[in-house]
Amino acid sequence: MVLPTKKEIIKDRKYSLKDRLKLAADRFFWNTYELSKSKQETLLHEGVKLFEHASLDFEERSIREYLGGLNAMDDFEYLIKIEDSIYFDPNFGWAIKDGKIIKESMPRCEVMAYPSISSYLKMKSGSEKVIEVKKLLSFRDNAEGNYFHFFAWVLNRLWVMEENNELSDDLNILVSEKIYATTYFQFFLKHSILKKHKIIVQTNQWVKAELAYFVQPHGYKPKYWENINQLIQKSLNSSFVAPKRVFLTRGGSDNRQLVNKVEVEALIRKYDFITIDTAGLTTEVQFFYFQKVEHLLAIHGAGMTNIVANENFSKVRVLEIMPKDRIASHFYWLSNALGFDYHNICLGSDQDQNLNFVVDTAKLEEEIQKLLKV
């Protein structure tokens, strides 16, 4: 993980000038702590090209080249145990030791957010309360609010811990207040091994641990997703009448909306697709809708994560719709992990200034017919 520089933060125009200056000040203050200075044990460290030999049978050259380049990248997995006094900041979940951030505590740093200097100094001076625990696994993450990211790189930490015999009953699990309140965290708290552990819900308080685990799972390791699928299958009511053909749209104010959505929905009704927008649905209801899906047509988005709830991946075929200038690999890779047929990507136009796009309905219909083999 490469931390963004002060200069990169200042230049990032998605922040206001005031915010950019504050972020730059925070970044300037924080240096990186070397774990070798503490009593630590690396229980696992592995780099694997999980998709080096994955199929690239796509007609579009841009798709083949983009996914082919990503397939050659290493996917790192590690589990590090450190026995020392470690502080976890309330805003973003960074682990801190001796006034320095531990980069391994935020393994997929994709945002330029750092602990508040003033909050840290107040905590060290004793003016802010600290929650103290003995043993801690953090579920904090820079993208913890993203549905797919939670499954791939947060929940899957459980299986890394389990495989290495570190899920002892006295282990506390740290989550943000925002994630704790979600229906997906509550689902897994009820139905998984999470229920055996004390959950520390972090609001605006610092947390101190005497022993902490830092985990980076393989986000697409088949066994981890199979574990998730199995516990979902055990919890769902099989009497629910679920659709076999689903069009997953994007509602609300999200970007990557289809500008010609009305025309697309008229088209897909010809082929008996049920339109679903997962926004606002509970996690359990989302799982129900995807439990028996055999043909999934979807605008790229985190709602596609629900395919993990399917009861028979060998019957599943997927056609994903994306803007031409924003190709994504998440569910192509997930198809390789779970064994469903990732039929194709139907590319639309480039995104407009509002990040929305148009898809050619004639081209889409041709791909739908191939998907359905009609």
Predicted confidence (pLDDT) per residue in 309-341, tens digit: 999 999 999 999 999 999 999 999 999 999 999
Does one domain contain both 80 and 210?
yes
Strand order across the beta sheet in which 317-322 lies:
274-276, 245-248, 295-299, 317-322, 341-347
Residue 62 one-letter amino acid: S
CATH number at residue 241: 3.40.50.360
What sign for the dihedral angle of Cα 194, 196, 197, 198? positive
Q: Give the mean model confidence (pLDDT) for residues 17-25.
A: 68
Bridge partners, 276 (sequence order): 248
Does one domain contain both 243 and 365?
yes
| Residue range(s) defining the domain that contains residue 316 | 236-372
Does one domain contain both 223 and 207?
yes
Share of the chain above pLDDT 90, in %: 67
Task: Specify the residue for token string 């801190």.
Answer: 96
169, 202, 228 - which closes a domain = 228
Instruction: Return the H-helix or E-strand segment holding 54.
Output: none
Residue 287 has pLDDT above 80, yes or no: yes
Closest CA to 374 of 245, 256, 250, 216: 245
Strand residue runs (E) in the chain: 31-32, 39-48, 75-88, 95-97, 100-102, 130-138, 172-176, 198-202, 206-216, 245-248, 274-276, 295-299, 317-322, 341-347
39 falls within a domain: yes
The encoded tokens of residue 334 equal 């997930």
Q: What is the pLDDT of residues 26-57, one digit of tens each?
A: 667 788 888 877 788 889 888 878 788 788 88
The encoded tokens of residue 203 equal 């609001």
In terms of C-beta density within 10 A (0-12 exposed, 13-18 middle, 19 or more buried), how is residue 155 classed? buried
Q: What is the pLDDT of residues 184-231, one digit of tens each?
A: 999 999 999 999 999 999 999 999 999 999 999 999 999 999 999 999
Domain count within the chain: 2
pLDDT of 225 reads 97
Does one domain contain both 224 and 264?
no
Does one domain contain both 165 and 192?
yes
First to last CA, the chain: 46
Does one domain contain both 282 and 215?
no
283 falls within a domain: yes
222 falls within a domain: yes
Does one domain contain both 53 and 158?
yes
Average pLDDT of the chain is 89
1 falls within a domain: no
pLDDT of 112 reads 57
Distance CA 123, CA 105 (A): 19
Closest CA to 31 of 108, 130, 125, 117: 117
Task: Specify the residue for token string 């979940």.
Answer: 93
Does one domain contain both 90 and 202?
yes
64 falls within a domain: yes
Distance CA 178, CA 183 (A): 11
356 falls within a domain: yes
173, 197, 228 - which closes a domain = 228
Q: What is the DSSP string of 136-179?
A: EEE---TTTT-HHHIIIIIITHHHHHHHTT---TT-EEEEEHHH
212, 228, 244 - which closes a domain = 228
Does one domain contain both 316 and 286?
yes
The encoded tokens of residue 216 equal 């980076």
Does one domain contain both 257 and 166?
no
